[in-house]
Structure 1
Amino acid sequence: MTTVKTVAFVEPSFYGVSFARVAFEQGHRVIAIVSSKDNPQKYGYEGIYHDLIVADIRDEESLYQAIIQSPYANQLDALIPATDYASHVTAKAAERLGLRGLPYEAALKARNKDLAREAYAEHGVPSARFKKVRTYEEAAAAAEEIGYPIVLKPTNCASSQNVYFINNVNELREAMEIIIAFKVTYMDFKVREEYLIEEYLDGPEFSVELFLREGEPIFSAVTEKITSPLPYFVEIVHTLPTPSYTEQEEDIVRTAVDALAAIGIKNGPSHVEVKLSSTGPRIIEVNGRPGGDNISSDLLVQAFGVEIFEATVNYYLDNPIAIDKRQHRAASIAYVTADRDGIFESIEGLEALSLHDNVVRSHVTVSPGDPVSIPRSSDDRLGYIITKGETPEEAKALAIALVDSLKVIYQQHEAEIA
């Protein structure tokens, strides 16, 4: 029988909703610390918490004060970041409260891509050559030094927001104008006015789902990714376990573990993005939490019977962790995307999905009348299909075939599109 503990989540959203649901279903008292009382409805976690605390989750002092002035002062058993943006402020507050979690410096490096790149370079972890810039002039000089094509990205955002593949100085000038005007991201977190110019890494992309104990993996799995056509980097298919480059899985996992060590993550879950370049695995970025995009909530469960959110809640509570692979199957998720800009009406062909035994579920995230566009960030995806199979090739082929069978229908009166 589970001993009831009090578990606080800082703004469950996106992947973090699964965190809150697991703790709620385990029978714990779940406290959601939110920036607005409207957020449970907005992000989909109504009914899976017991109480709310309102705080400025962008500010560590506000978060700390809100907790110690609440009825749960000195009663929290765990404080868990449930959105990337608040991971570092949550880590700092948890340290002050004497609770288990990521070291603050490690969380700060994971949150800020420039600090992470500096740590990789210092520890000899293969990643991308980079320069931190503030102005177009600095960016142009950095691009010249690194050599086109390059990648331009914010230092502290997520979901491929304003990440650009750039071939020449004209494209760079245009992209810099856009990125400099990009001031605020999700939940009103400020975009830092420093940007990265990075070497473009060739090769296929993967993520490594890991759980560490004192620096060594007690669980690892490699997910294959397919991204949208350049110049954007939106993830549109994930397959677990990877059906490709399996002979290099060990190298990919070891590089991911080395990257975590470089930024100071030794325990708990992580999601590390890697490119298998012509010179071997190179790190894209590190996240000190379970993977999003339904990788943790669905693909790991379907493929291996692994409940990584459950293991993570137990880790934060310092309870025993069970994370062994209970089966060896496969799963894939493929995203529905628009092939042009327009006003969404419907998706044709959804009814046929229920005829397939290996469809786990499908979901549409847009409504009639919503403006849609070709995917420039993860926000632009329209929905998804999750499939399972005995092999990764089977699960992947079905997911892609089913997405390809769908047709996005646009409204005819599109003159209102700005």
Structure 2
Amino acid sequence: MPTVKTIAFVEPSFYGVSFARVAYGQGHRVIAIVSSEDNPKKYGYEGIYHDLIVADIRDEQSLYQAITDSPYAGKLDALIPATDYASHLTAKVAERLGLRGVPYEAALKSRNKDLAREAYAEHGVPSAAFRKVTSFDEAAAAAAEIGYPVVLKPTNCASSQHVFFIHNEVELRKSFEAIVEFKVTYMDFKVREDYLIEQYLQGPEFSVELFLQQGEAIFAAVTEKLTTPLPYFVETFHTLPSPSYTERQDDIIRVAVEALKAIGLTDGPSHVEVKLTSSGPRIIEVNGRPGGDNISSDLLVLAFGVDVFEATVNYYLDQPVAIEKKHDRAASIAYVTAERDGVLERLEGIDDVLQHPKVIRSHVSAVPGDNVAKAKSSDDRLAYFIVAGDTPQEAKQLALTLLQQVKVVYRNQEAVIA
């Protein structure tokens, strides 16, 4: 019988629920450190944990004190961040407890896009020209220096929240007025009052799903991503492995690994977003955790039989990591979005699509009567479905064909998903 370990996860949510599920399935004692006792129900991990510890996950000392005051003081075998926002705090607490984890400075750079961009520049990693700004005047000067169009974004948020594509100073002023009013993001984390003006990178977008050991990639796969039309950047479609630009995938992976090393991430899982520009791959951002949007929980499993969450749990426990491909197929996920604001009457055709024999899993979050909006962040997506295929082209084409069969019908008017 394998030895039962005690593993604490800080605020399992979204992709992090898969961590709890894997550890629980391995027979380990799973402790969830949460900001509210309602979170297991809210995020969908009821029944796959053994105990809860309540703490302010936004505060390092609160996390540390909650653990040291609990029955698990000195008994944890691993402390794993299960949400992006607390990853750097979890890393610091793990260091204080003498547990294995991502170095605090690396986790901090991964969470803060300005620190990451500075590290890429210092180490010569291809990235976007950028300036950190705190005022409109600074933003206008930075945009003029970099050259329009530019991107304005927060330094410590996710899911395309308040990311603006800007053509001129008039648009910049309007967008800056909006971004400074954005004070609190997911899980009540404060939005920093430093912002980035970045060069707009043109080209197809990808993510690289990686697992490193001592700076070497023991697993790598490239995911093709489709996003909403500008001026927004919401991800609406993923295919793994990528069916496109396969001859450039080694370059894409190489630059992704360079970015990870630049910020100090040399071990464990990561999800690196890249654009393939006319001058080669350039880094959009690095995440020191498994990819979300069902890439790690579903697409990697369907395409390759790879469970990155199991590998990550074993890494944190300092146990052998096995992450080889078991088969070679492909999978796609398609998200339904509205093309304009309005009140939802129904998602026409969605039932037929979800009953298609090749749809593996699906979820519909929008219901009739909901106010729906043209997607400005991931929160605005209405539904998704996942398909598998023998090749990337087959999986992508099937998902696109099914997506075209779904229409967003508004009260008093109909619009077709393009």
**Partner SS for 2:374:** coil
Question: Could you tell me how far apart the structure 2 residues matched to 1:317 and 1:391 are?
Answer: 35
One-letter code of the match for 2:122? E
**Partner SS for 1:15:** helix
Q: Higher mean Cα deviation, 1-10 or 208-217? A: 1-10
Pairs within 5 Å for 1:109-188: 109-188=109-188
One-letter code of the match for 2:264? G
Q: Does 1:373 align with 2:373?
A: yes
One-letter code of the match for 1:272? V
Indicate the residue corresponding to 2:81 in structure 1: 81
Question: Could you tell me how far apart the structure 1 residues matched to 2:57 and 2:372 are?
Answer: 30
**Partner SS for 2:14:** coil
Shift of 1:394: 0.6
Q: Higher mean Cα deviation, 367-376 or 64-73? A: 367-376
Indicate the residue corresponding to 2:39 in structure 1: 39
Shift of 1:355: 4.9
Question: Could you tell me how far apart the structure 2 residues matched to 1:373 and 1:19 are?
Answer: 32
Q: Does 1:53 align with 2:46?
A: no
Shift of 1:275: 0.4
Question: Could you tell me how far apart the structure 2 residues matched to 1:2 and 1:406 are?
Answer: 47
Question: Could you tell me how far apart the structure 1 residues matched to 2:369 and 2:310 are?
Answer: 38
Q: Higher mean Cα deviation, 102-111 or 3-12? A: 3-12
Q: Normalising to structure 2: TM-score of the pair?
A: 0.97
Q: Which runs of 5+ in 1 are unaligned?
A: 414-418
Shift of 1:218: 0.3
Indicate the residue corresponding to 1:261 in structure 2: 261
Q: Does 1:100 align with 2:137?
A: no
Question: Could you tell me how far apart the structure 1 residues matched to 2:341 and 2:145 are?
Answer: 36
Return closer, same or farther for 1:348/1:259 CA change in 2, 3 Å cut-off.
same
CA RMSD of aligned residues (A): 1.1
**Partner SS for 2:145:** helix
Pairs within 5 Å for 1:247-326: 247-326=247-326
Question: Could you tell me how far apart the structure 2 residues matched to 1:341 and 1:357 are?
Answer: 32
One-letter code of the match for 2:89? V
- Cα deviation per residue 1:160-218 (whole Å; 9 max; x = unaligned)? 00001100111100000000000000010000001000000010000000000100000
One-letter code of the match for 1:238? H
Shift of 1:244: 0.4
Q: Does 1:15 align with 2:23?
A: no
**Partner SS for 2:107:** helix
Question: Could you tell me how far apart the structure 1 residues matched to 2:26 and 2:283 are?
Answer: 35
Indicate the residue corresponding to 1:68 in structure 2: 68
Shift of 1:354: 4.9
Do 2:275 and 2:282's aligned partners in 1 also have CA atoms closer than 8 Å? yes
Question: Could you tell me how far apart the structure 2 residues matched to 1:377 and 1:247 are?
Answer: 31
Shift of 1:356: 3.0
Question: Could you tell me how far apart the structure 2 residues matched to 1:354 and 1:204 are?
Answer: 28
One-letter code of the match for 2:321? I
Return closer, same or farther for 1:346/1:3 CA change in 2, 3 Å cut-off.
farther
Question: Could you tell me how far apart the structure 1 residues matched to 2:305 and 2:2 are?
Answer: 20
Give the total of aligned pairs: 413
Question: Could you tell me how far apart the structure 1 residues matched to 2:88 and 2:272 are?
Answer: 17
Question: Could you tell me how far apart the structure 1 residues matched to 2:303 and 2:256 are?
Answer: 21
Question: Could you tell me how far apart the structure 2 residues matched to 1:394 and 1:35 are?
Answer: 43
Q: Does 1:197 align with 2:197?
A: yes
One-letter code of the match for 1:309? F
Q: Which runs of 5+ in 2 are unaligned?
A: 414-418
Return closer, same or farther for 1:354/1:200 CA change in 2, 3 Å cut-off.
closer
Shift of 1:28: 0.9
Q: Does 1:240 align with 2:269?
A: no
- Cα deviation per residue 1:233-275 (whole Å; 9 max; x = unaligned)? 0000000000000001000000000000000001000000000
One-letter code of the match for 2:110? A
Indicate the residue corresponding to 1:416 in structure 2: none
**Partner SS for 2:75:** coil
One-letter code of the match for 1:364? V
Question: Could you tell me how far apart the structure 1 residues matched to 2:177 and 2:354 are?
Answer: 46
**Partner SS for 1:409:** strand
Shift of 1:342: 1.6
Question: Could you tell me how far apart the structure 2 residues matched to 1:16 and 1:101 are?
Answer: 16
Percent identity, please. Answer: 74
One-letter code of the match for 1:327? H
Question: Could you tell me how far apart the structure 2 residues matched to 1:51 and 1:322 are?
Answer: 28
Shift of 1:225: 0.3
Pairs within 5 Å for 1:339-354: 339-354=339-354
Question: Could you tell me how far apart the structure 2 residues matched to 1:41 and 1:366 are?
Answer: 19
Q: Does 1:26 align with 2:26?
A: yes
